[in-house]
Amino acid sequence: MGTSDPTVRTTPAVDETGDESSQILQTRGLCKAFGGLTATDDVDFGLEKGELRCLIGPNGAGKSTFLNLVTGQLEPTAGKIYYDGHDITEMPSHERVGRGISMKFQVPSIYEGLSVAQNVRIPLQQVADGDEFESRIREILDRFDLLAERQTVASALSHGQQQRLEIGMAMALEPKLMLLDEPVAGLSVEETAEIAELLREIAEDDGVALVVIEHDIDFVESIADRVTVLDQGSIFREGSIEAVKADPEVKRIYLGEER
Ligand SMILES: Nc1ncnc2c1ncn2[C@@H]1O[C@H](COP(=O)(O)OP(=O)(O)OP(=O)(O)O)[C@@H](O)[C@H]1O
């Protein structure tokens, strides 16, 4: 599908010269089929280090499938995934986490029966020394505004606090790439604004690259450097939020969907 707007690309930013140093993540020809259904269709995706990219598209467009391929939860049918210059297509999921790819799922995957501090301790055990635990836990809880709740059992937190806790747990792993599936679904306006600010800080201050699946276009507008639109498993458009929002073809694929 073509467009006359030069700020909107119909093909993604893949560096064919082999100079991949500025990109933390690339996929080439990535495909995933579930039986006869192609959920990811020949996706060439490129993400700069420290970039905050939003992934949007209608229901069933293949957004979650794409993130699950990057984390290794799903195996591709074809294609390659490169992370920080290395081919990780065959790498097991836990090893990808160890190399700095962390995922935040839509439903908070926290340990509900444990305290807030104990939750943060779990990922820290993978990266920090024992004598650093207490100071690192305090640092993370302070940053994610959960210090007063350190002894609170996680199930008693508000939904917004649980989302912040899970992002804090993901940051405890010192990632280079964080993938988030609808991090503000069901949150209040205030909680959404807090998460938006945190994600911008994580990209700008920590230099972590983020891919965020999101349906809320106002939230996308408030955080994204660039936007990738998926439709029927393929990249449909890619560009600035302004250009993508103004594209009549993007509006067309969303027609009939409540946003
Ligand atoms: N494990 C699976 N087995 C079979 N089909 C699947 C599986 N996972 C996803 N699909 C199908 O693949 C397509 C893409 O699904 P996916 O969840 O990636 O889309 P999405 O863009 O994240 O959608 P939504 O916005 O509704 O979450 C859908 O048609 C879905 O039904």
- Report which protein residue has its CA nearest ligand 1's atom 6: 34
Q: Is 106 close to ligand 1, i.e. is its CB under 6 Å away? A: no
At 3 the pLDDT is 40
Q: Looking at per-residue confidence, does 107 or 20 come out higher?
A: 107
Q: Write the CATH number of the domain with boundaries 8-100+175-254.
A: 3.40.50.300
For the CA of 68, the closest atom of ligand 1 is 18
| SS3 assignment, position 175 | coil
Q: What pLDDT was estimated at residue 142?
A: 95
Q: Confirm if 178 and 202 have CB atoms less than 8 A apart.
A: yes
Whether ligand 1 lies within 6 angstroms of the CB of 58 is answered as no
Question: Which residues, in sequence order, are bridge partners of residue 228?
Answer: 55, 238
- The protein residue with its alpha carbon nearest to ligand 1, atom 18, reads 62
Q: Which residue is associated with the tokens 């995957």?
A: 109
Q: Answer whether residue 198 shows pLDDT above 50.
A: yes
Distance CA 16, CA 20 (A): 9
Place of tokens 């349906």: 215
Tell me: the pLDDT tens digits for 135-194? 999 999 999 999 999 999 999 999 999 999 999 999 998 999 999 999 998 899 999 999
Q: Which residues contact 70 (CB under 8 A, 6 or more apart)?
A: 25, 27, 81, 83, 101, 177, 179, 211
CA separation, residue 5 to residues 15, 175, 217, 243 (Å)? 21, 35, 20, 8
Task: Determine whether 139 is exposed, middle or buried from the number of CB atoms within 10 Å of its CB (0-12, 13-18, 19+).
Answer: middle
Pocket test for ligand 1, best of 37, 67, 259 (most atoms within 8 A of CB): 37
N residues, the chain: 259
Report which protein residue has its CA nearest ligand 1's atom 31: 60
Do residues 194 and 170 make contact, with C-beta atoms less than 8 angstroms apart? no
Nearest atom in ligand 1 to 74's CA: 1
Spell out the domain ranges in the chain.
8-100+175-254, 110-169
Find the range with the poorest average confidence among 53-67, 104-118, 203-217. 104-118
CB burial of residue 148 (10 Å; 0-12, 13-18, 19+): exposed
64 C-beta closer than 6 A to ligand 1:
yes
Note the ipTM here: 0.97
